[in-house]
């Protein structure tokens, strides 16, 4: 880890990213001193993808950090995550959402979440298919949630060098978001976050309407899994 680089990248990104777009520093697989470096450079929003790793990092870092969970969340890990996040960005099934809601109610907290939408070409990515997500809202299933606030959507573009394809994916995610947000009959409140864009494609994502970008490699270097 090169700590000078981390601080520099954070500062550069804070300059480059347009006003109104928030930056999540994706720190998964990176050690606490690397996160500390980003923190000292002014970063307060961090993203982690594994519950165990997140729970280990939280007590070792300042308490004004806002943690976003961005990975696939296994149902048996939900209880330990509830109350620890500013936002769970990766709700990828109704079953998971219902469980988050039940555990949040039990813990006496409101959990903020994004619905992960699957538009990318890869077979393996998690998330709701666009039609499924639309259906969830048109069926008004969100009305049964007691302790969960759906704040918007998160999505990833196809993992490809074809930047036109990437742009189409982001456009697609944004139009799904907009259709739900602008459907006044749903009466949604605070449904206003579109999380899209990573190290290699965040500029395109912002052009296509993202207001929350998730950057790992560019800040912290490559991950050793």
Using CB under 6 A, list all residues that contact ligand PLP.
26, 28, 49, 70-71, 198-200, 214-218
Which residue, judged by CB position, is nearest to ligand PLP in the bound state?
216
Beta bridge partners of 222: none
38 or 188: whose CB is closer to ligand PLP?
A: 38
Which backbone phi and psi does 24 adopt, to 5 degrees?
A: -100, 120
Residues 48/28, Cβ–Cβ less than 8 Å: yes
Residue 103 CB, nearest approach to ligand PLP (Å)? 22
DSSP states of 112-180 as a string?
Answer: EEEEEEE-SS-SS--SB-HHHHHHHHHTTGGGG-SSEEEEEEEEE--SSS-HHHHHHHHHHHHHHHHHH
Least spacing, CB of residue 174 vs ligand PLP, in Å: 16
Task: Give the residue with the Cβ less far from ligand PLP, 39 or 69.
Answer: 69
State the nearest-atom distance from the C-beta of 186 to ligand PLP, in Å.
26
Nearer to ligand PLP, 200 or 209 (CB): 200
Distance (Å, whole) CA 206 – CA 212: 8
Residues in the chain, how many? Answer: 225
Residue placing its CB nearer to ligand PLP in the complex, 29 or 136 = 29
Angstrom distance (rounded) from CA 33 to CA 221? 14
The CB-of-150 to ligand PLP minimum distance in angstroms stands at 18
* Shortest Å distance, C-beta 106 to ligand PLP: 27
Q: How far is the CB of 28 from ligand PLP (least distance, A)?
A: 6
d(CA 206, CA 65): 24
Cα separation, 103 vs 98, whole angstroms = 9
């Amino acid at each position: 880890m090169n700590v000078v680089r981390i601080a520099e990248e954070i500062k550069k990104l804070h300059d480059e990213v347009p006003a109104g777009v928030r930056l999540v520093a994706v720190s998964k697989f990176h050690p606490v001193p690397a996160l500390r470096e980003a923190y000292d450079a002014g970063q307060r929003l961090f993203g982690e993808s594994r519950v165990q790793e997140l729970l280990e990092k939280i007590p070792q870092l300042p308490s004004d950090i806002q943690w976003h969970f961005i990975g696939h969340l296994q149902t048996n890990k939900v209880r330990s995550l509830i109350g620890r996040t500013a936002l769970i960005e990766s709700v990828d099934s109704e079953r998971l959402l219902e469980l988050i809601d039940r555990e949040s109610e039990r813990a006496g907290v409101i959990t903020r979440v994004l619905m992960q939408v699957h538009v990318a070409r890869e077979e393996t990515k998690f998330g709701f298919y666009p039609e499924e997500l639309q259906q969830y809202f048109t069926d008004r299933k969100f009305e049964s949630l007691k302790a969960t606030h759906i704040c918007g959507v998160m999505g990833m573009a196809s993992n490809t060098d074809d930047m036109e394809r990437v742009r189409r994916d982001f456009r697609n995610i944004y139009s799904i978001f907009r259709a739900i947000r602008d459907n006044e009959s749903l009466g949604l409140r605070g449904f206003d976050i579109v999380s899209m864009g990573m190290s290699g494609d965040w500029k395109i994502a912002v052009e296509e309407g993202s207001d929350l970008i998730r950057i790992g490699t560019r800040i912290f270097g490559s991950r050793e899994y």
